A = this chain, B = another copy of it.
Amino acid sequence: MAQLQAEIIGVGTELLLGQIANTNAQWISEVLANQGISVYHHQVVGDNHDRIYRSFELAKSRSDVVLVTGGLGPTDDDLTREVLSDFTKRELHQDEKALEQLETFFKRRNRTMSENNRKQANVIEGATMIRNDAGTAPGMIVIDDETTFIIMPGVPTEMKKMMEDTVLPYLRETFQLQDVIVSKMLRFIGIGESQLEMEVKYLIEQQSNPTIAPLASDGEVALRLTARARTIEEANHLIEVSEASLLARVGQYMYGFNNETIADVVVKQLVKKDLTLAAAESLTGGRFSDAIVSIPGAGQVFKGSIISYSNETKTQLLGVKEATLSSFGAVSKETAIEMAKQAKDKLRTDLAVSFTGVAGPEPLEGHEAGTVFICLYYDEAHYRVERFSFVNHRELTRTRAVKKALEWLYYFLESN
């Protein structure tokens, strides 16, 4: 058959008021793209009978599959079910099984089912029901002439579960989808977006399967490879070949794949090398430790941290010398080194990281906001300390500092 054309309709006045973004359309589009289904249109309409009706008309005139999200709730505003019934000229009737599921849902949560909720058990004649395991409103698949309408709730968790459990298997089987799409993300650190693009520009431009898309966020860059083929094996093979060419150019900056974060990789390396870590955080105020502790298994290698957000804490608790603070200032190379050394000693670890700087908005000790000293300390002979000038933006500076320390740790652990 010709390539399947899909369309996504978001129903809900909250979308037209800008209270929420239509992330459902994004998510569904991505999932359909991965199945080789082309999405040519998105529409958004409010909770209005006529406008929903006309959006269905338009969609039917141009699309094979129409996925509708929203408007299945219990209130009078929720019209999707009723409009589709009018549009397809098929009656709504209360489905016993759907009502039973609804009653069970409320009973399990010790909540009373209101009269309103009963309407969520209304089903269009001839429709295939889509179970909703995460909420109250079931979805429906309704075939109207050449067009398949699929209606689902607007709550993202409910919609996603329905898509994965029911809708995608249904589409794959009904339309005998044969192509598969496989994506792989390569993650880089220590190289800027423009430099990365420059290094691999000819590869990005030269080829279309897999496509290579650069992505950037918060001081990290990634390349997404997306291949389309008849089998997963074939798609994986296409990706492998491209990956090899890419890594020949920029492999030294790659730290991980897919959803791996630099903190994941650092914790894994520490576990593998049986090394323990501590931190002394002033500027970052716990953000570095938080990033490490976010990783399950961090407890094996991370012993803790001293957050010294006052000079008094730096001297009395962390043990930085008064003389260091008075001669060089709290925001200095010397203080950063002592902080890391003391954290390592006090927490008895193999490695320690320290941060001191000016989060802003005001300058401090003559340093501009955004000035940061980071130290990674192993022993007297092996430590690294540097001064950075990040931007005058409190949150960004603290996030960048944490990323930079993770980058250093990554390279240290790779090469030792």
Contacts and interface: CB of A to CB of B under 8 A. Distances in A.
A18 B30 contact: yes
A186 interface: no
Contacts of A288: 286
A172 interface: no
Interface string A355-384: 000011100000000000000000000000
A281 interface: yes
Contacts of A308: 304
B347 A317 contact: yes
Contacts of A292: 285
Contact of A285 (B20, B289, B348): B289
Interface in A159-214: 213
A110 interface: no
A279 B286 CA distance: 11
A22 B29 CA distance: 12
Given A10-B42, A43-B43, A293-B307, 19 more contacts: A15-B42, A17-B33, A18-B25, A18-B30, A18-B32, A20-B26, A21-B22, A21-B26, A40-B46, A40-B51, A41-B44, A43-B44, A281-B286, A284-B290, A285-B293, A289-B307, A302-B310, A304-B307, A317-B347
Interface of A: 10, 15-23, 25-33, 38-46, 48, 51, 58, 213, 279, 281, 284-290, 292-294, 296, 298-299, 302-310, 312-313, 316-317, 346-348, 359-361, 394-395, 398
